[in-house]
Amino acid sequence: MIEFSNVTKTYKAGNKAIRKLNIQIADGEFVFIVGRSGSGKSTLLKMLLKEVEPTSGCILVGGQNLQRMPKRAVPRYRRGLGMVFQDFKLLKDRTVYENVAFAQRVIGVSPRKIRENVSAMLRLVGLSSKYKFYPQQLSGGEQQRVAIARALINNPAVLLADEPTGNLDRQNADEIMWLLEQINARGTTVIVVTHSQEIVDSMKKRVITMDKGMVVSDKRDGEIYEIQHNLL
């Protein structure tokens, strides 16, 4: 369970990025977070990652109070989260295999176990035959698949995706969303920030709409709440 209770975030300049945020996301849910630029979507993800701290309120993830978490516990906590970005953030001088394996090497997993885990992840994302390829040899959709495999390699309970289809054409975007749906079916909680109304409409999942740091709509049938007809 992820729970935001009366959470606010005010930056030094006085900008209120989050205002009295109250959200509950159950284990195994698939949730879209939508809203125009500046609505607070990215700040929400950053707070989940403990990259920024809330000004007030409480954030619970799996029963852990993030504000009370000691700094030494943050790396272990973050290993329970997978993160996928719009621009992939792959290591350009490393192969597909090495990009996915990197996340396991940094936590000291044995070479034998790394080989097993990377092979399993590449099968999951359909890239087993391209394990020796470099990112520049792949299409955008394939690069995002590598990024998803890397995000999943440490078996996170929660996958966060920030505009995962933003740099992709519609066909590749649909394939990535299908893959995220399969990952969710395995029990992983999936939270996707997106501007794509087409993607949201096609998926029919829970949609939380934010505006000016607040939740203005929380629908479970894939509908986007429009703000002055210009939300996304």
pLDDT (tens digit, 9 = 90+) per residue, 183-226?
999 999 999 999 888 899 889 899 999 999 999 999 987 666 66
Provide the CB-side half-sphere exposure for 70 (13 A, CA): 2
Residues of the chain with pLDDT > 70, as a percent, come to 95
- In this prediction, residue 160 carries a pLDDT of 96
Residue with tokens 């070479």: 111
- In this prediction, residue 225 carries a pLDDT of 64
Cβ proximity of 25 and 1 under 8 Å: yes
Chain-centroid distance, C-alpha 21? 19
- In this prediction, residue 120 carries a pLDDT of 95
Provide the CB-side half-sphere exposure for 179 (13 A, CA): 28
Tokens representing 146? 């590598």
Among candidate residues 104, 139, 102, 145, the one with its CA nearest the CA of residue 122: 145
Residues 34-63 have pLDDT tens digits of: 998 889 998 999 999 999 999 999 999 999
Q: Has residue 228 got a pLDDT over 50?
A: no
- In this prediction, residue 219 carries a pLDDT of 92
- How high is the mean pLDDT of the chain? 92
Q: Has residue 231 got a pLDDT over 60?
A: no
In this prediction, residue 106 has a pLDDT band, given cuts at 50, 70 and 90, of: confident
Q: Which amino acid is at 226?
A: E
Average pLDDT over residues 19-31: 96
Among candidate residues 28, 24, 2, the one with its CA nearest the CA of residue 188: 28
Residues 122-164 have pLDDT tens digits of: 999 999 999 999 999 999 999 999 999 999 999 999 999 999 9
